[in-house]
Amino acid sequence: MSHTATLTEKDTLAFHLEKNIDVLARKCYQCGKCSAGCPVAGEMDFSPSMVMRLLQTETPANDEKTLRSYSIWLCLTCEMCLCRCPMEIDIPSVMDFLRQKSLKEKKVNPKARRIIAFHKSFLNSIKYTGRLFELGLTLDYKRRSLTLMQDVALAPRMISRGKLHFIPEIIKGRPQVAKIFKKTSKKEN
Amino acid sequence: MKTGIYPGCSLNGSARDYNESVFALAEAFGLELEQVSDWNCCGATAAHNLNKDLSLALPARILALAEKNGMDEIIVPCAACYNRLTLTQTELRKDPELRNHVSGIIEMDYKGTSGIINVIEWIDKYITPNLEGRIVIPYAHKVACYYGCLLVRPHKVLNYDRPEDPQSMDLVMSKIGAEPIYYPFKTECCGAGLSISRTDIVSKLSGKIIEDAESRGAEAIIVACPMCHSNLDMRRNDINKYWGKEFKIPVIFITQAIGHAIGLTDKKIGLKRHFVDVKIS
Ligand code: SF4
Ligand code: SF4
Question: How high is the ipTM of this complex?
Answer: 0.89
The better pLDDT of the pair B127, B47 is held by B127
The pLDDT value recorded for residue A146 is 57
B195 CB contacts (<8 Å, ≥6 apart)?
A: B202, B227, B230, B231, B235
Q: What is the mean pLDDT of each run of 10 residues along chain A (189 residues)?
A: 62 95 97 97 97 97 97 94 96 95 95 84 79 74 62 70 75 86 69
The reply to whether residue B189 touches residue A171, judged by beta carbons under 8 angstroms, is no
Mean pLDDT of B123-147: 96
Q: A31 in ligand 1 pocket by Cβ < 6 Å?
A: yes
- Span from the CA of A56 to the centroid of ligand 1 (angstroms): 12
The pLDDT value recorded for residue A143 is 67
What value does the mean pLDDT of chain B take? Answer: 94
- Span from the CA of A45 to the centroid of ligand 1 (angstroms): 17
Min Cα separation B17/chain A (Å): 9
Give the dihedral sign, CA B146/B151/B152/B153. Answer: positive
The shortest CB-CB distance from A123 to any of B47, B149, B273 is to B47
Mean pLDDT of B110-131: 96
Q: How confident is the model at residue B237 (pLDDT cuts 50, 70, 90)?
A: very high
Mean pLDDT of B62-82: 96
Mean pLDDT of B32-39: 94
The pLDDT value recorded for residue B57 is 94
Least Cα distance to B75 among B28, B109, B110, B25 occurs for B25
The number of angstroms, rounded, from the C-alpha of B121 to the middle of its chain's C-alpha atoms is: 11
Beta bridge partners of B144: B221
Say which DSSP state A170 is in. B
Best substitution site from A80, A84, A87 to test ligand 2's pocket, by max atoms within 8 Å of Cβ?
Answer: A80
Beta bridge partners of B252: B222
Q: Where in chain A is the domain with CATH 1.10.1060.10?
A: 7-106
The shortest CB-CB distance from B188 to any of A39, A103, A188 is to A39
Please indicate if any CB of chain B lies within 8 Å of the CB of A119: yes
Q: How many CB pairs below 8 A link A and B?
A: 166
Cβ of A25: how many Cβ atoms within 10 Å? 21
Instruction: Give Dmax over CA atoms of chain A in angstroms.
Output: 62
List the B179-180 sheet strands across, edge first.
Answer: B179-180, B142-145, B220-223, B251-253
How far is it, in rounded angstroms, from Cα A34 to Cα A62?
A: 20
Mean pLDDT of B117-128: 97
Domains of chain B: 3-120 (1.20.1050.140), 133-273 (3.40.50.11810)
Mean pLDDT of B192-196: 74
Q: Which amino acid is at B181?
A: I
The shortest CB-CB distance from B273 to any of A103, A162, A173 is to A162
| Ramachandran sector of residue B221 (left: φ over 0; alpha: ψ -120 to 50; beta: rest) | beta
Phi then psi for residue A41, to 5 deg, are -55, -40
- Side-chain-facing half-sphere of B49: CA atoms under 13 Å: 24
The pLDDT value recorded for residue B218 is 97
Report yes or no: B50 and A112 within 8 Å, Cβ to Cβ: no
Q: Is B179's pLDDT higher than 90? A: yes
List the B115-117 sheet strands across, edge first.
Answer: B34-35, B3-5, B73-75, B115-117
Q: Is B114's pLDDT higher than 90? A: yes
The pLDDT value recorded for residue A188 is 41
Q: Which positions in chain B touch A148 (Cβ < 8 Å)?
A: none
Report yes or no: B66 and B36 within 8 Å, Cβ to Cβ: yes
Report yes or no: B178 and B135 within 8 Å, Cβ to Cβ: no
How far is it, in rounded angstroms, from Cα A63 to Cα B204?
A: 31
Consecutive H or E run containing B104: helix B96-106
Q: Which amino acid is at B198?
A: R
Q: What is the CA radius of gyration of chain B?
A: 18
Name the pTM for this structure. Answer: 0.91
Report yes or no: B215 and B227 within 8 Å, Cβ to Cβ: no
Beta bridge partners of A170: A130
The pLDDT value recorded for residue B28 is 97
- Span from the CA of A52 to the centroid of ligand 1 (angstroms): 8
Quickly name the fold that domain A7-106 has. Answer: Fumarate Reductase Iron-sulfur Protein; Chain B, domain 2 (1.10.1060)
